Amino acid sequence: MNTSDWIGIANVVAQLVVAGVAIGAVIASLRANKRQIQSSDRQVKEQIEASSKQLKEQIDASDLQVRKQTEESRRLATEERQYQSRPHLSPQKKVVGNAVTSISLEDGSASETLYAPDGKIDWSWQHRIRITLHNMGNGPAFNIHSVLYGSEDANQSQFVSWDTGPIEGKGTSDILLAHSSELQLFHSDSVDDGKHPLYDKSLDSSTNPWAYRMACLTITCHDLFGKKFVSIFHYTLQHQWIHVATEEIYGKPPRDLKELNAQKKQGPKLSAPPIQTS
């Protein structure tokens, strides 16, 4: 082979090398582009996933907020309905001795009367007494229990009425109270954690005169929803009623007058003595 042949072969080889380099560059470029595309795809996918997650979190948060608002609206609506349906028992007129009494033809005086000449209640009165209750609330009152408590120390000197009613909203009904050997409640007992005792035995004073609290009427009842309420009134020497309190009974559990009396009858729960092991 002459020189020109070798030169031709060298040129061909050089061209092949250049072509190989070019092809390698193209392949490298394609691989780089592929990696870039894959990276871009991952970024797009991650962005989509992040956006989807953020959108889902926003939707969940919005749903949770809507549920909370709905539950709060229902709660407020229920409370409003319950408040509008609350009973509110209040005594009317004077306490009346529910007994037939004979009237003297000479001076017109009764042979038997609930009241002493000075207007005080005769707590030894052996008949029932009658009190008119008016339900000032819109909802009915159920399971009505009442105690008229006075200054007498004996429980059995007080007047009691269990399980009367119901009295419809804005309705009026008479209840009959009598002495009861079952009554275990004392002056200091109360259904509202001691805020208002069944009878205030504090000394007579200008700021808390006895004439304004000759007796104390405590009334408990249940509403449509099972909630328990108490109404408390003082009975004056002038035979008028003074409102003291009307409120829902709280506690764990809340107890009305009859339940509190039953608890007092059971007495305190005593622990069993320790077992002797030796």
Domain residue ranges in the chain: 9-84, 86-266
Average pLDDT over residues 78-103: 83
Highest mean pLDDT among 4-13, 40-49, 67-76, 216-225: 216-225
> Which residues does residue 137 pair with via DSSP β-bridges, in sequence order?
none
Average pLDDT over residues 246-259: 94
Cα torsion at 112, 116, 122, 128 (round to 10°)? 40
pLDDT computed for residue 229 by the predictor:
97
Split at pLDDT 50, 70, 90, the class of 100 is low
DSSP H or E stretch at residue 43 = helix 3-84
The CA-based angle 36-38-40, given to 5 degrees, is 65
More confident residue, 108 or 270: 108
Split at pLDDT 50, 70, 90, the class of 271 is very low
> Which residues does residue 3 pair with via DSSP β-bridges, in sequence order?
none
pLDDT computed for residue 218 by the predictor:
98
- Look at residue 1 and tell me whether its pLDDT is greater than 80: no
Taking the C-alpha atoms of residue 242 and residue 90, their distance in angstroms, rounded to an integer, is 10
pLDDT computed for residue 196 by the predictor:
93
Determine what percent of the chain is predicted with pLDDT higher than 70.
91
**Mean pLDDT score of the chain:** 86
